Structure 1
Amino acid sequence: MAQVQRTPLADQAADILLDRIRSGEWGLGQKLPGETTLAAQLGIGRSTAREAIRQLAGRGVLSTRQGAGVFVTALDAPEDWDAVLRRTDIVSVIEARIAIESEAAALAAERRTAADLRGIRRALDGRRGHAPGIEQHVDADTAFHRSVIAAAHNPILLDLFDGFTPRLRQAMIDMLRLRGDDGGADDDLRHVRLADAVAARDSRAAAAESRSHLVDLAAVLS
């Protein structure tokens, strides 16, 4: 059985425990051996084993139940979201946006309030009347799409969009510089149609408008 060979001991112990969980040694919901047993298996002290468990609990893999023990709550540790985005190509980001934003647009059409609609209209006006400059256009466009997602009243969808924004912003700026334009009246009209579909509570049209716009964007960037 693998033992810890290098420092920091707690980090190494956490890695070994995670590898054992990934390999299926303990299933979802299964209880781990006690700290004394784990420490002996890993060749470390109980306090180090406790810290390794604490690390994996913080990553959502383990859960400590008072008086009951330590249990497996996930079979792998989710990777840091920012790290995933940093190594993901832009087209993959756009494809993920399609899944998120088309659903968000449909939900926005169903759930939007009068205040949400005012926010969408303000963002639309800001997008059409943005100050000269590619960066300003990209930021105004992002603000519009965010206003639609906010109207879906799903904080997870909004957090995902906010995670994409820094990864996508520079790519959009670079693309518009190469094209020499921002899509003009046709692009503006597509965003008007999206806003109108949300206003009309037409979830199918809202999802279709959002999807069509982003599919075309992915084609340009690929």
Structure 2
Amino acid sequence: MTLATTRRTGLVEQVIEQLRGSVASGEWPIDSRIPAEPELAAALGVGRNTVREAIRALAHGGLLEVRQGDGTYVRATSEVSGALRRLRGAEFREVLQVRRCLEMEGARLAAQVRTAADLRELRRLLKRRNWTSPSDDPESFARADTEFHVAVVRASHNVVLTELYRGLTELVMSSVATVADEPATAVKDHDRLVAAIAAGDVEAAGREAGGFIDEMLERSPGSDGAPT
């Protein structure tokens, strides 16, 4: 862990930003335990009370989780994701509905503005996804599938849309893992989605992006089996 020494103004806010940065960069992965307060205080050149207050704020936001007698763990990659991870049961459908909106618009925009580099990345990630078996290794498949969908939204070159979608990353991965034992849904062919984006076909890209989530919605809690 490498943290810059803080300035003497706004110490708590600065520590919050540095801790948040360590999570966002992947230096502290999900479910990992972060360094103890004395270690963080020494690395940052601040008092333990300052570190404790910063951790408390991030825990309140859902980014960190303080486990008494065990330490502090990374709970999510962003406060938005941390809040969404609290959703349970029928609210899973609401996550899928939001995911559908973001991915459809991301795919439609990507079909309009994608670059050659975007297409290379999409094809690379799709190939890796297709090589991963959801039944043999559901966790790796969920990760590969999620990385592909993040790349689709990123190809929209809409920063706000991409950041909103990144906030859903853990829940997207969770939703993929939830249906990983249903081959018809989990391994839905995404080749046509990439082809539509490559061809600049806005309507087809949106249709392909939303179609497989519609199938997930039909299988989700609270569904009456009617088309979404």
TM-score over 0.5 (shorter chain): yes
Secondary structure class of the residue paired with 2:214: helix
Structure-to-structure mapping, 1:72-111, within 5 angstroms: 81-82=80-81, 84-88=83-87, 89-111=91-113
Return the alpha-carbon distance in structure 2 between the equivalents of residues 211 and 174 of structure 1: 18
Partner letter of residue 195 of structure 2?
Answer: D
The SS at the match of 1:176 is coil
How do residues 59-70 of structure 1 correspond to structure 2 at under 5 angstroms?
none
Gaps of 5+ in 1: 1-79
- For 1:153, what is the secondary structure of its paired residue? coil
Distance 2:82 2:140 in 1: 27
Cα RMSD for the two superposed structures:
2.0
Distance 2:100 2:122 in 1: 19
Equivalence for 2:215 = 216
CA 1:117 to 1:82, structure 2 compared with 1: closer, same or farther past 3 Å?
closer
Q: Higher helix fraction: Structure 1 or Structure 2? A: 1
> How many residues matched?
138
Question: Are the aligned partners of 1:94 and 1:214 in contact in 2 as well (CA < 8 Å)?
Answer: yes
Is the 1:175–1:221 contact (alpha carbons within 8 Å) kept by the matching residues of 2? Answer: no
* 1:18-167 mapped onto 2 (5 Å cutoff): 81-82=80-81, 84-88=83-87, 89-130=91-132, 132-167=136-171
Amino acid at match of 1:202: D
Aligned to 2:195: 196
Unaligned runs of 5+ in 2: 1-78, 222-228
Percent identical pairs in the alignment equals: 34
Contact 1:112 1:152 in 2 (8 A): yes
Deviations 1:53-73 (A, max 9, x none): xxxxxxxxxxxxxxxxxxxxx
Q: Residue 15 of structure 2 corresponds to which residue in structure 1?
A: none
Give me the TM-score of the superposition, normalised by structure 1: 0.57
Deviation at 1:162, TM superposition (A): 1.4
Tell me by how many angstroms 1:184 deviates: 7.0
- The equivalent residue for 1:77 is none
Instruction: Work out the CA distance in 2 between the residues paired with 1:83 and 1:143.
Output: 19
Write the deviation string for residues 90-110 of structure 1: whole angstroms up to 9, x where unpaired. 111110011111011000000
For the residues of structure 1 that align with 2:81 and 2:145, how far apart are their CA atoms?
22
Give the conservation status (yes or no) of the 8 Å contact 2:196–2:205.
yes
Q: Is the 8 A contact 2:96 2:217 kept in 1?
A: yes
